[in-house]
Amino acid sequence: MATHTNKTLFQREVVIKALKQAFVKLNPRTLFRNPVMFTVEIGTAIMLGVCIWILLGEQSQGSFGYNFAIFLLLFVTLLFANFAEAIAEARGKAQADSLRKTREETPAILENGRQISSSALEKDMVFICKAGDIIAADGEIIEGLATIDESAITGESAPVIREAGGDKSSVTGGTKVLSDQIKVRVTAQPGESFLDKMIALVEGANRQKSPNEIALTILLAGFTLVFTLVIITLKPFADFANVAITIGALISLYVCLIPTTIGGLLSAIGIAGMDRALRANVITKSGKAVETAGDIDVLLLDKTGTITIGNRKATNFHAAHGIAKEQLVRAAVLSSLSDDTPEGKSIIELAEVDPADYRVDNPRFISFTAQTRSSGIDYDDIRIRKGAVDAIKNLCIQAGHSFPDEVAECVKAVAENGGTPLVVSQNEEVLGVIELQDVIKPGIQERFARLRKMGIKTVMVTGDNPMTAKYIATKAGVDDFIAEAKPEDKMNYIKAEQAEGRLVAMMGDGTNDAPALAQADVGVAMNSGTQAAKEAGNMVDLDNDPTKLIEVVEIGKQLLMTRGTLTTFSIANDVAKYFAIIPALFITTIPALQGLNIMNLHSPESAILSAVIFNAIVIPFLIPLALKGVAYKPIGASALLRRNLFIYGLGGIVVPFIGIKLIDLFVSLFM
């Protein structure tokens, strides 16, 4: 994909832009959205005022050098926090710039032969593309078939085939036609194309905070308010105990008490989560979608193309008793002449005939629908249908004809063998069965086992009869299945799971998947799918990989883990700062507090400076972790919690003790 050019975490151009933005973000109106860092900015401004006050002759606040050092450290803390957010945003903007290169003014040839600019194309206009042309706008192929190079969007060098009819008719502006000719109907207004939306998303211009992020921001704001009250009340207590505490010491204690580490990294974690999804070639419409993916309980997957390789092929014709095989083959071919699906085409291939030899007068083709679950052809006084077993059976029974027992046995045998039976009828009399076979994807069982370890229930969605569905589900290792699924069946299943408090994810590509994609908590639409599917989902998979949802789930869990672990670390490392600053404030007046100076720091001044320095430098050290994310392993929630509490909780307590002591040894050399 074009956006994958940014391989390294810190590219020179990206870092330079982020450094500039770190200063721009010092604007109080911008920083106000982050209550923790906003209060740090207020503290920095107060320290600047104290420094000026000392220069004007004030003697009670300590030396100018000491206070100016605190001011600089607080200012650097702000810059590091802003840089963390800016570097995440700059990486997204760099990807947006590379995407813009694929969106150039492209000429479009209309049906009447007139040439106009791609920017002048409006929704529902029709243009023609032939070999070598760049597709001018997002659209649906309404006529023709072509090989298309989508590497500018997906990064996949292998060309793909797009054709009118079915769920592979969608094309994206900026891709190139390599062969043949197609007629495309525009599906997006100027400025609202898929590429335009991608650019806006990766730039993060309209990034909304997710519910979890908002909740954590409120929690951090609460901590900040509590410690604000602590600092306000500390001064009267100090005066009562005849302890002289400078403004610089109070501000230093305050900044070290509040959770500045997670406050400075919070936005960067959320932006980086969307960035990781993009690097997996998944466009997300919000950070909320990525987070929700990390919490899902149920995953709905289409059988065809996801669990199985897809493009089921006809492998055999089974004629009913007393029916010649040639008669069944002829009816099957006639019913498939207008069938653009891979199954329909494979029927003609299996018959080894020339469709031109099967032309009839005044044909009326009957398209497949999810309701009738059959298709066919009417001509003269002949009606031919092929479709699902129960659909054709009901058709025959309603017309007063029986459903032959040997055909029912044949249907059962095909289904038990993992195949899909299509029954063919002529004038409501059964002619026989077409056997379709599909192949389960290699390695899919291991993927489902991995999801099971995450605590996610997998559900296979298929239009197959229950017997075939059960065979495939058992062989693939899914937990449940929906057979003979209609659009409303998928929606009802999702609603039922949601009613029990579960979060549901689904992947789809067809227009009939759109209602379920919209209902699901996480809806991933294929880039090759229909425009309706892409509009309904809250994610789009550029690779058209139906198993990508598994990767999205892991990215979501990684985002949640990263935020949780860094919050744990941030709160835990405050402990060491208490042992550094509290004794430093009161040790001269209350010698008994010497016992709390377990780090044996050099002096009160060096203790305060060491704590503030550590508080500042820990943010840039954690930026790579915030951007890359904490490594996720499917070992269960309780095991993950124990692991992260041990590493980041215990580590958050131990590391600051070591860090502050080392900094104190260095600082004491200059004091």
* C-beta of residue 336 within 8 angstroms of C-beta of residue 159: no
Tokens found for residue 346: 């494979």
The answer on whether 103 is annotated among ligand-binding residues is no
509 is annotated as contributing to ligand binding = yes
- In terms of Cα–Cα distance, which of 238, 307, 245 is closest to 545? 307
Is 133 within any annotated ligand binding site?
no
Q: Which residues pair with 540 in a beta bridge?
A: 283, 525
Dihedral through CA 13, CA 14, CA 15, CA 19, nearest 10? 100
Has 343 been labeled as part of a binding site?
A: yes
Q: How far apart, in Å, do the first and last CA atoms of the chain sit?
A: 55
Task: Tell me if 371 is assigned to a ligand binding site.
Answer: yes
Crossing angle, helix 548-572 and helix 637-644, to 10 degrees? 40
How far is residue 553's CA from residue 280's CA, in Å, rounded to a whole number?
12
Query: Rounded to an integer, what distance in angstroms lies between the CA atom of residue 479 and that of residue 492?
Result: 18
Q: CA–CA separation, 485 vs 490, rounded Å? A: 7
| AA identity, residue 288 | K
Pairing of strands 298-302, 457-461: parallel
The reply, when asked if residue 375 is annotated as ligand binding, is: yes
Helix (H, G, I), strand (E, B) or coil at 528: coil
* C-alpha 134 chain-centroid distance: 28
Q: Give catalytic status of residue 302 as yes or no.
A: yes
Q: How far apart are CA 616 and CA 489, in angstroms?
A: 55
Would you say 30 is a known binding-site residue? no
CA distances from 359 to 268, 350, 352, 367 (A): 64, 18, 16, 18
372 labelled binding-site residue: yes
Centre a 10 Å sphere on the Cβ of residue 471 and count the other Cβ atoms it contains: 16
Residue 162 annotated as binding? no
Yes or no: say if 308 and 441 are a contact pair by the CB < 8 Å rule.
yes
Distance between CA atoms of residues 283 and 92, nearest Å: 12
Catalytic pick from 138, 167, 275, 302? 302
Q: Does 368 appear as a known binding residue?
A: yes
Residue 646 DSSP code: I
Residue positions forming the annotated binding site for ATP: 339, 343, 368-375, 386
Residues classed as catalytic: 302
Annotated binding site for Mg(2+): 509, 513
Which residues participate in the annotated binding site? Answer: 339, 343, 368-375, 386, 509, 513
